[in-house]
Amino acid sequence: MQSDFLQIQNLSITLSGNQVIKDMSFNVRRNTLTTFLGPSGSGKTTVLRAIAGLNTSVSGQILLDGQEIQSQSANQRHIGMVFQSYALFPNMTIFDNVAYGLRVQKKSAAVIQQEVTAMLQTVGLTAKRDAYPDQLSGGQKQRVAIARAMVLRPKLLLLDEPLSALDAKIRVSLREQIREYQQKLGITMLFVTHDQGEAMAISDDIVVMNAGCVQQQGSPMTIYTQPTNDFMAQFIGNHNLLTGQQLQQLGVAPTTHHALASTEHYVVRPELLSPEPQPGAVAIPGKITAVTMLGDRVRYQFLSDADLPLKVELLNHNTPLAVDATMTLYLDPAMIHLVGAAHVK
Ligand SMILES: Nc1ncnc2c1ncn2[C@@H]1O[C@H](COP(=O)(O)OP(=O)(O)OP(=O)(O)O)[C@@H](O)[C@H]1O
Ligand SMILES: [Mg+2]
């Protein structure tokens, strides 16, 4: 099992008299890519800045490789940071941008030549070594920014929404490349995003935060299938959140695992409601009230005859149902998930 390389314990941060981070604890395992996922304003950048040593009023512990780093300056921490805005030096070539940190460290010309050449090759920009930043596309510029951080071999690389300024197609290809660099070079990365799909696609672990608190930490699979509270159930994957009583109204019977009490909250994932009858499944008759084309799938708003709205997602088989079409959905009671805690404070 990989050890916890970065340990954040009881972190609290106050900015201008405002407690922005509230007693947060989470871990990042060595040589993994952990994403830090949360809505805008939840405190992601603030935590990253604290880890990098750029925030002042910070309480709690930050341990990197077993060592407390709070007393160290930003320079002493050997932590790299990549920002949303590439922040390249406009008057330097791509080679010189990547070489900059090594020159500050007074590395020899031969070492710089070798390291920068290898890094430009890793990020696929060898042909652009003599170009200037304004001659590059957004995706290429961000690859330079990542190369500039990685060439210093940081103990930890922090990336703050590095893809959000790029268009959708480049974003998907660059996120896969970042994952590849991370695995190939064995770097521990903490990657901030507010895009769930991005987090699901590239992470070993996801830390979800909201309003300065960690809501849940786990693998993408665990985060998606076993949300621990209502915030998680609603934030991840557009799930249906129902009380036990509402499930009983739909015809689901209580079991030894699921008491279906009115105070309990359950998640029913939209893709697990099926139009096909299944053994043991509960039949839910109703009608379609809204249709959204997603491309490979179609998302429906469905209103059951028991007057409960449900979100449903079905594969696009070329004949989407229309608004007001009646249909019966089938729910396998074994697929419902009891939410860990009923309410987010
Ligand atoms: N200098 C400051 N003084 C007071 N409050 C601040 C300061 N900087 C940020 N905040 C507040 O701290 C909270 C967290 O901000 P932060 O920038 O960390 O959020 P974020 O999760 O990175 O958001 P985004 O996804 O929009 O980048 C916000 O409510 C913000 O208004
Ligand atoms: Mg931010």
The alpha carbon of 19 and the centre of ligand 1 are apart by a number of angstroms equal to 11
- The pLDDT confidence band at residue 342, using thresholds 50, 70 and 90, is very low
Ligand 1 pocket check: which of 11, 21, 42 to mutate, most ligand atoms within 8 Å of Cβ?
42
What mean pLDDT comes out for the span 86-99? 95
Number of H helices, E strands in the chain: 9, 17
Q: pTM to 2 decimals?
A: 0.88
Nearest Cα residue to 267 out of 297, 229, 216: 229
Higher pLDDT, 3 or 282: 282
Question: Which atom of ligand 1 is nearest to 38's Cα?
Answer: 21
Ligand 1 pocket check: which of 16, 20, 44 to mutate, most ligand atoms within 8 Å of Cβ?
20
Instruction: For residue range 97-117, list pLDDT tens digits in order.
Output: 999 999 999 999 999 999 999
DSSP code per residue over 6-29: EEEEEEEEEETTEEEEEEEEEEEE
Which amino acid is located at 236 in the chain? I
- What 290-298 contacts at long range (C-beta under 8 Å, 24+ apart), as own/partner pairs, is 290/323, 291/320, 291/321, 291/322, 291/323, 293/320, 297/271
Q: What pLDDT score was predicted for residue 318?
A: 76
Ligand 1 pocket check: which of 21, 46, 164 to mutate, most ligand atoms within 8 Å of Cβ?
46
Instruction: For residue range 260-288, list pLDDT tens digits in order.
Output: 999 999 999 999 999 999 999 999 999 99
Closest ligand relative to 57 C-alpha: 1
Q: Whose CA is nearest to atom 29 of ligand 1?
A: 41
What mean pLDDT comes out for the span 63-86? 91
pLDDT(181) > 60: yes
38 Cβ inside 6 Å of ligand 1 = yes
Q: What pLDDT score was predicted for residue 344?
A: 39
Instruction: For residue range 226-261, list pLDDT tens digits in order.
Output: 999 989 988 887 899 999 999 999 999 998 888 999
User: Coil, strand, or helix at residue 132?
Assistant: coil
What mean pLDDT comes out for the span 39-68? 92
Which amino acid is located at 26 in the chain? F
Angle at 173 between CA 4 and CA 1, to 5 degrees: 20
Helix (H) / strand (E) containing 233: helix 230-235
Q: What pLDDT score was predicted for residue 2?
A: 56
Q: What percent of the chain has pLDDT over 90?
A: 79
The alpha carbon of 146 and the centre of ligand 1 are apart by a number of angstroms equal to 24
The two beta strands, 309-315 and 297-304, are antiparallel
Q: How far, rounded to the nearest angstrom, does the alpha carbon of residue 181 sit from its chain's CA centroid?
A: 18
DSSP code per residue over 176-203: HHHHHHHHHHT-EEEEEES-HHHHHHH-
